[in-house]
Amino acid sequence: MTKLFLASWFAGSATLLTSFAREDLTGKKVVFIPTASSHEMPDEYRNGLDFINNADKKSLENLGLIVEDLEVLSETSEAIEKSISNADCIFVCGGNPFFLMQELKRKGADKMICHHIKQGKLYIGTSAGSNLVQKGFIDDGVDDTRFGLELNGDFSGLGFIDFYLFPHYGHNYFCNDKELFDKYYVSVDCIKIADNQAVTVDGEKIETITAPKSCIPQIPMLYSH
């Protein structure tokens, strides 16, 4: 049965994961994939994304999970398959979704992740990592599609959900969120999630769950998801 925990920013909703998983996660192994944020970017964005990824990793560790880093860019397809197969959960970080999909496809990791999700392995996404399981990505001008040139305009996702997600809604990190939503998302089936929220998929059951706003860490600088 498909089990997806799709966060806007995982650190802001991490306290909800154990209840959703319906099991003690202590000692479970999670493979941590930061690839979406591994492209070139200005230092201020790099520092911001490093802060976010580290906050997510710390949140996983606080739940008792054993975190194993997996950088798709630098590993062989065989090593990627071994890491994902040996893990109890899959975690995919935020960053540029077009770059993420391009690099996953380059190593065949998109198919590996699909296989393990279908086998019932818990998938946890944050921002672009959550968008990854959509049927596709919308080019709304926030993320630079040039980082995914090898996709040749094929912006399809893994296809586990038939709706879109709008992460970070209400925080206005990149522009006016309402204006962006009204321009690109109002005509499609889309769920808006703030940084203390996640959309969960448990088989056929889909819910939006919310943690206290106090759970959201304070971001020290601007970042690009």
Catalytic residues: 127, 168
Burial 79-96 (b: 16+ CB within 10 A, else e): ebbebbeebbbbbbbbbb
Q: Which residue has the tokens 């690839």?
A: 35
Q: Whose CA is closest to 104, among 113, 96, 117, 115?
A: 113
**Angle, alpha carbons 74-88-78 (nearest 5°):** 30
Quick one: which H or E segment has residue 104? helix 97-107
The residues that bridge with 32 in the sheet, in sequence order, are: 69, 91
CA distance 123 to 159: 13
Between 109-118 and 97-107, two packed helices, what is the crossing angle to 10 degrees?
Answer: 90
Instruction: Please answer whether residues 100 and 131 qualify as being in contact, where contact means their C-beta atoms are separated by less than 8 angstroms.
Output: no
